Structure 1
Amino acid sequence: MTPALVGSVAWALMVAGWYVIRYPFERRAKRARVERSRRGPAETLRMAISLTGLGILPGVFVATGWPRSATYDPAWWQIALGLGAMAGALVLFRKTHKALGKMWSVSLDIREKHRLVTSGIYRRVRHPMYSAFWTMALAQALLVPNWIAGPAGLIGFGILFAARVAPEERMMEEAFGDEYRAYRARTARIIPGIF
C-alpha cells in the first residue's frame, strides 16, 4: 500500500469513527427538550461551510481522486503524524461527548434543566469539542494527499469556529451568569494554558 492510499483509508476511518462516537449522543439529545436556541440561517451557513471542508471536499477526493491536479505523493512520516492526530482527535471527541452527556447539542442550544459542565475534559478547556475538530482538521490535512481537499477542513472549520465561538460564549454567559464568568476566567478556550 502506498502512503496516499493509507492516508485516504485512514481519513475514511476517522469519519466513520466520528459518526460511531456521535450517533448515540445525537439520538439521546433528540429526546431532551431545547429551552433556548441560536439556530438560524447564519448557523446553518456556518455548519454547511464546515461540512464542506471536513466532509464533502475530502470525501469527493477520496472517492474519485478529484481534483487530480492538486494531488501529491505524501511521505510516510506525514501519514504517521496524521494517524497520531487522528487518534488524538477521536479520543478528545469521545471524552467531550461523554462529559457533556445529555447537555450535548450539535448546535447552539440550551436544554431544559441544562447545567454547566466543568468536570472531566472541561476542567481546563471550555471548548474541547472545538479542540477535537481542530485536531481532526489537522489530521485531514496530513492524511488527504491533495492541496485542496486536505487543508479544506482547516479552512471550513476555521470559519465556523471564528464565527461561532463568541456567540456561544455569550449564550453560556446569559444562561449561567457568574458561574460561567468564573469558569471562563480559569480555563482556556481550546488549548490548556495557551489559548
Structure 2
Amino acid sequence: MTPTIAKIVWTVCVIAWYVIRYPYERKAKRTAVARSRRDWREVTLLTISLSGLGIIPGAYVATGFGRVGDYAFSASRAWAGVAVFALSLWLFRRTHKDLGRNWSVSLEVRDGHRLVTEGVYRHVRHPMYTAFFLWAVAQALLLQNWIAGPAGLVGFGTLFVFRVFREEAMMLETFGEEYRAYARRTKRLVPWVF
C-alpha cells in the first residue's frame, strides 16, 4: 500500500457510497414529504459534513491541496482504513435497504412514514450515522494528512452533535410512545454501548 493507492481506495469508496445511495435517493424523491425541518441550520450542517467527508479530502486527493499536513505514511494504518471503509459501506447499504422509502438526506417525514425497528435498526437507532463515523475513521486512516484525514470526523461530528437531538425530537413527535419504547431498548450509535 502506498499513499497514492490509499487515495485511489478512498476515491473508489466514495464512488461506491454514491452508487449505493443513488437508487434509494431516486425512490425517496417519489414519495411526498409530509413534514420537513430543512431550514438554514440543516443546510449548514449538511454543508459542513460534505466539506469534511468530500470537499476537503477530495481537493487533497485531486490536487494535493493541504499536503503540508502530510505525515509519515503507514501501510498498516491504510489497510486498517480499507477494512473500516468496507464495514462502513456494508452498514450504509444495510441502513438504506432497511429504511427503503422512509429514508431522506434531510430531516423529513414522508407520507406513509413508518418507524423502522428491524434489520440493523433493531440494535441501533442511528446506524447510518454509525456508517458515516466509520467512513470518517477510514478517511483518517487512508489519507494520512493532518488536514484531509480528520476533516471527516470534524465535519460529520459537527452534523451529528447539532442534528441528532432534533431528529429524535421529530421522531418522537411523529411516533410518540412507539419511539420512546424503541429509544429505551436501543443505543444511538453502537449496540449496547453508545
Shared fold (TM-score, shorter chain, > 0.5): yes
Cα shift at 1:6: 1.6
Long gaps (5+) in structure 2: none
Q: Secondary structure at the match of 1:43?
A: helix
* 1:19 has 2:18 as partner: yes
Cα shift at 1:145: 2.0
TM-score (norm 1): 0.98
Q: Following superposition of structure 1 onto structure 2, how do residues 3-152 of structure 1 map, counting pairs within 5 Å?
A: 3-152=2-151
Count of residues in Structure 1 that have an aligned counterpart in Structure 2: 194
Q: Distance in 1 between matches of 2:147 and 2:2?
A: 18
TM-score (norm 2): 0.99
Cα shift at 1:66: 1.2
Q: Distance in 1 between matches of 2:30 and 2:130?
A: 26
Cα shift at 1:72: 2.3
What is the percentage of aligned positions where both structures have the same residue?
Answer: 55
Q: Secondary structure at the match of 2:113?
A: coil
Q: Distance in 2 between matches of 1:184 and 1:27?
A: 29
Q: Distance in 2 between matches of 1:124 and 1:147?
A: 34
Q: Secondary structure at the match of 1:150?
A: helix
Aligned AA (1:56): I
Contact 1:3–1:73 (CA<8 Å) still a contact in 2? Answer: no
Q: Distance in 2 between matches of 1:18 and 1:74?
A: 25
Equivalence for 2:154 = 155
Q: Secondary structure at the match of 2:170?
A: helix
| Alignment deviations for residues 47-87 of structure 1 (CA, whole Å, 9 cap, x no partner) | 00000000000000000111121112321110110001010
Q: Distance in 1 between matches of 2:28 and 2:72?
A: 42
Cα shift at 1:111: 0.4
